[in-house]
Chains A and B, each alone.
Chain A
């Protein structure tokens, strides 16, 4: 039992360290936005050499998002993963009210995702904290596990919607060009599975709580 509690403390420390690391990486990656503000878009970054031959009519591809663009000539320009040019695509012809709306929606979704992530980590921290003190099968912990499970499922759905909205933004941006942005289905199955498994674990904890109560009420 003592060894178990010690390992719990280790897990807690790893969790805190991991959380801090994720936060630092996120801030570092979004560094340009923090430094320059939201008008960062006014300062276009030159395309990497492999994209110089790609011509998007009336579109400046400064820091391209991960996109799959199908040209009318049938050639597919894949701006994904390895070819990522870091960032945004801008339509010169039409700034578009719809794009602003979708971007606003995506921003609020990003905030929601961030909040969900923080809540999951927070609940996990308090769960491990209580467990390391020996209070494992408590109603509070059951509630925390339930919250983690449902938030994980919500997170996977929110990420899916975010990806979908990003596709619509890209589609809108390229609407005045000869190119079409194709959609690739991307769902975070891992996060969804983690959520479902966590909810199952919650039911196991509920049973554990009942057994604990029974044990405590045995005279």
Chain B
């Protein structure tokens, strides 16, 4: 999928672990893992809002579009 989720990059910048994010956002570890590995099919605006709130960033910092090479 050409949409990349830079969750690990943001976590590294904020020096936060996935477990801590999971606890603060209220999303299970497995769901965060799906998001991080790019297996997710869709992200709710509500979830994006919570993550941005905790990581103190913009949605654009988390999501990136890369043209697929065909």
Chain B interface, number of residues (Cβ within 8 angstroms):
12
Q: CA of A218 to CA of B40 in the docked complex: distance in angstroms?
A: 6
Q: CA of A48 to CA of B32 in the docked complex: distance in angstroms?
A: 79
Nearest B residue to A210, CB-CB: B41
Q: Which residues of chain B in 15-63 are interfacial with respect to chain A, using CB atoms and an 8 Å cutoff? A: 27, 31-32, 34-35, 39-44, 47
| A163 smallest CB distance to B (angstroms) | 50
With A217-B39, A217-B42 known, 15 other A-B pairs at CB within 8 A are A213-B41, A214-B41, A214-B42, A217-B34, A217-B41, A218-B42, A218-B43, A218-B44, A219-B27, A219-B34, A219-B40, A219-B42, A219-B43, A219-B44, A219-B47
Residues in B whose Cβ lies below 8 Å from that of A218: 40-44
What are the 6 A-B residue pairs with the smallest beta carbon separation, nearest first? A217-B41, A218-B42, A214-B41, A219-B35, A219-B40, A219-B31
**Interfacial residues, chain A to chain B (CB-CB below 8 A):** 213-214, 217-219
| B64 smallest CB distance to A (angstroms) | 17
Residues in A whose Cβ lies below 8 Å from that of B47: 219
Q: CA of A219 to CA of B22 in the docked complex: distance in angstroms?
A: 12
What are 23 A-B pairs with beta-carbon distances under 8 A? A213-B41, A214-B41, A214-B42, A217-B34, A217-B39, A217-B40, A217-B41, A217-B42, A218-B40, A218-B41, A218-B42, A218-B43, A218-B44, A219-B27, A219-B31, A219-B32, A219-B34, A219-B35, A219-B40, A219-B42, A219-B43, A219-B44, A219-B47
Q: CA of A157 to CA of B23 in the docked complex: distance in angstroms?
A: 60
| A184 smallest CB distance to B (angstroms) | 56
